[in-house]
Amino acid sequence: MSNSRPLNMLHRLLRTSHLPLWFLQLSLSASSLSPSHAFIDIVHLSSARPTPKTMSAHSSTANNLHGVSSPYESNSFTTTSHPPPFRIGYASDMEGHWSYFLDYVRRSNVLAWEEIPSNNPTLSTPFHRLTLRPDTHFVYGGDSVDKGPGDIRLCRVLVGLKRRYPSRVHLLVGNRDLNKLRFHSELSGDDWEFGGEASFWDPNAPSYMEYLRRREKRNTKVEKLKWILEHTLGCPDTFEFRREEVGILRRIYGCYPVDYTMKNDIDSTHLSVDWKREESIEVTDEQVVESFEYEINHPEGSLRQYLKHASIAAIIGNTIFVHGAIDALTMKYVPSLSSKFELPTTVPSSILAMSSTNPDEFDENDETMIDNVHEWVEALNEYLQRGLEDFEMRPHWNADRTSRGGEALLAIQNRPAMWGRSVVCNSYGDGGVVSTSDSQVQQRDALHASIIDSNPLVFEGVASNVLDPKPARWLLDHGIRRVVVGHKPTGDCPAVLSAAYTGVEVVSTDTSYSRRSDLDSACTFGECRGSAMSVVEIVGSEHANWLETFGTLACGTEYANRFSVISPESDTNQVDGDSDILGDMNLGKILPDGWWVKAAISPDQYHLCRGSGRFVEYQIRSKKDVNRQLDGL
């Protein structure tokens, strides 16, 4: 091979990717190029950020050993760069964590901030508008609220981005977005005085009256909302997060709610800095309740606008995006708009057909199954819009409290209500990875038990079988070779199943709750993510591309990885005619001892993970050892 070809290839990689410097140096050292010449070119073209202030002992050693402070460049293209023809940025499950979102944008190759004039002359800090870089797409995978003091701002900037780039931005709904539709009926008027039954999906949760007795509280709308948040939505800190954010917004805009008819494009602008809690003005309990009601009930509310502009699923090129999972239960299935947000007692015909050798048990008049993946996505998104229309027409309970508008949307975000068939809430995640040895057996047993006992509660906590060939074959038959999801935490970096197993690459991205208790025993208010930060991007062309993940592990170690190319079977390993594109074929593989290869953290080390349920453990292992184990398979 001549010297010019690898040099051109390296420059192309540098221009189009945030690969770590050690990865590029290692690639060059295997060629006939002079290492010193190569290093000079790398330094000239890259712009590394400083090493994070907090680093663990082993992460500092891993990075400093190779002279690397950070694997990513600044979040803007240099004047000499030429982006690839296709790049998708993906983020999910930020759940109102505003500082995390700011860090994500800072590292992103897809998003950037644009400074605009301030509407408040008393503020010296400028406003910024979120923008999309040329030739890129962005997908937000759902769950925009609940776990941080940035719910309103995050929804506003995402909706503003969608409005300006409607064909290149996709906002997906998660369970935490949809379940707020309950507030109108459960908090409006005198309904809060009715009380509240325990969650049908959680037998251990107290009823509202039991909650009041335990805490010796009076029955008020404030207490009703606190009970809903803590015992039915699993977010006990959200009330105080909202108090903080309302104070921040009052300080920024001078009032809350903001009068958007008097502001110029205010819903897509914000201050790009976070305010310290002690600088927020006083917000009463009642004002916090009013904020929750306004943001979902008012047509201009931030979450209401998010749902209006959102989808259940999206397809870009060869990649499909949903919040939860596409498995044997959710594939092809479109729920009925008459679905109820309750525990069903009659086994659906599609479930009976799955467990029977007689496919005639499926009743086409009872349920909708769509064979074409693209038509299935269209039908799911139509289901969302029809559900929102129903909510707008009748947001309150009916006279006998048996139905309310938008109930079909409350149902699809609840696994028991869907009899385990929720594309929004089914999940691959299990113990920091996306498959364990028990997942296939657990799902099969849950399906059987739900029929025998007529009890869909058995699906709660069951991980979808990511190795099931049936949904993979369905997706492949329609040109889909990658599934990207969020919803359930999968450790301190994205959990990926290599396409080598089923032909479909599965990417699970939620890194919330990734704080390492062995490194930091204290979890401060709103900071349970620890140091973990991840960016997920897809690069190449629409039908031949690769996954890139980069960020920071919970221990502080920086990583940046390129996965194998995903392309049509007739054009494997080629992107735009180039067969030299690099990718680590070990990433996303499962070792014989159950450990998953999740990330490369140096030229000779991998970050491994395994676990079950909420138990997660990590290990650093040499690439030599990993190669030896995989070669033996």
pLDDT in tens, 542-566: 989 999 999 999 888 999 999 999 9
> Where is pLDDT greater, at 525 or 27?
525
What pLDDT does 280 receive?
54
Residue 379, helix vs strand vs coil? helix
- The residue type found at 178 is L
Alpha-carbon span 435 to 447, nearest angstrom: 18
Alpha-carbon span 509 to 494, nearest angstrom: 4
What pLDDT does 69 receive?
30
Distance, C-alpha 333 to centroid of its chain = 22
Residue 108 has pLDDT above 90, yes or no: yes
What pLDDT does 42 receive?
19
pLDDT per residue over 121-146, tens digit each?
666 667 788 999 999 999 999 999 99
Kindly list the distances between the CA atom of residue 18 and the CA atoms of 59, 132, 524, 540, 574, in Å, as whole numbers in the listed order.
19, 18, 31, 14, 20
What pLDDT does 222 receive?
95
What pLDDT does 38 receive?
27
Name the least confident of 150-154, 251-255, 541-545.
Answer: 251-255
Mean pLDDT over each residue of the chain, to the nearest integer: 80
Sorted by sequence, the CB contacts under 8 Å of residue 224 that are 6+ apart come out as: 186, 187, 192, 196, 208
- What number is the average pLDDT over the span 517-529? 55
Alpha-carbon span 546 to 140, nearest angstrom: 19
What pLDDT does 60 receive?
31
- What number is the average pLDDT over the span 105-117? 91
For the chain, give every domain's residue range. 4-64, 98-311
Whether the CB-CB separation of 73 and 20 falls below 8 Å is answered with: no
What pLDDT does 365 receive?
54
Alpha-carbon span 216 to 402, nearest angstrom: 30
Alpha-carbon span 514 to 489, nearest angstrom: 8
Q: Give which of 141, 187, 184, 162 is closest to 410, Cα–Cα.
A: 184
Sorted by sequence, the CB contacts under 8 Å of residue 482 that are 6+ apart come out as: 318, 319, 320, 499, 504, 505, 506, 507, 538, 547, 566
Sorted by sequence, the CB contacts under 8 Å of residue 167 that are 6+ apart come out as: none
Whether the CB-CB separation of 486 and 508 falls below 8 Å is answered with: yes
What pLDDT does 575 receive?
47
- What number is the average pLDDT over the span 438-465? 83
Whether the CB-CB separation of 520 and 56 falls below 8 Å is answered with: no
Name the least confident of 84-88, 480-484, 490-494, 517-521.
Answer: 517-521
- What number is the average pLDDT over the span 447-454? 84
What pLDDT does 46 receive?
22
171-276-109 Cα angle (round to 5): 35
What pLDDT does 152 receive?
95
Residue 404 has pLDDT above 90, yes or no: yes
Percent of the chain at pLDDT exceeding 70: 74
Cis amide bond preceding 257, omega within 30: yes
Whether the CB-CB separation of 468 and 408 falls below 8 Å is answered with: no
> Where is pLDDT greater, at 183 or 60?
183
The whole-model pTM stands at 0.85
Confidence of residue 30 (pLDDT cuts 50, 70, 90): very low
What pLDDT does 432 receive?
85
**Number of residues assigned to the chain:** 633
Percent of the chain at pLDDT exceeding 90: 56
* Rg, C-alpha atoms of the chain: 25
pLDDT per residue over 81-90, tens digit each?
455 678 999 9
Residues 48-54: contacts with CB under 8 Å, at least 24 apart: 48/21, 48/72, 48/73, 49/73, 49/74, 51/558, 52/531, 52/552, 52/556, 52/558, 54/531, 54/556
What pLDDT does 285 receive?
97
Q: Give which of 69, 138, 105, 14 is closest to 558, Cα–Cα.
A: 69
pLDDT per residue over 337-396, tens digit each?
999 999 998 888 888 877 654 555 555 556 799 999 999 999 999 999 999 999 999 999
Alpha-carbon span 133 to 530, nearest angstrom: 29
Distance, C-alpha 434 to centroid of its chain = 14
Name the least confident of 207-211, 251-255, 408-412.
Answer: 251-255
What pLDDT does 119 receive?
62
Alpha-carbon span 213 to 215, nearest angstrom: 6
Neighbours of 279 (CB within 10 A): 9
- What number is the average pLDDT over the span 577-606? 85
Residue 435, helix vs strand vs coil? coil
Report the run of H or E that residue 48 belongs to, with start and end: none
What pLDDT does 1 receive?
43
Residue 334 has pLDDT above 60, yes or no: yes
In 146-161, which positions are buried (b, 16+ CB within 10 angstroms) versus exposed (e)?
bbbbbbbbbbbbbbbb
What pLDDT does 252 receive?
79
Neighbours of 465 (CB within 10 A): 24
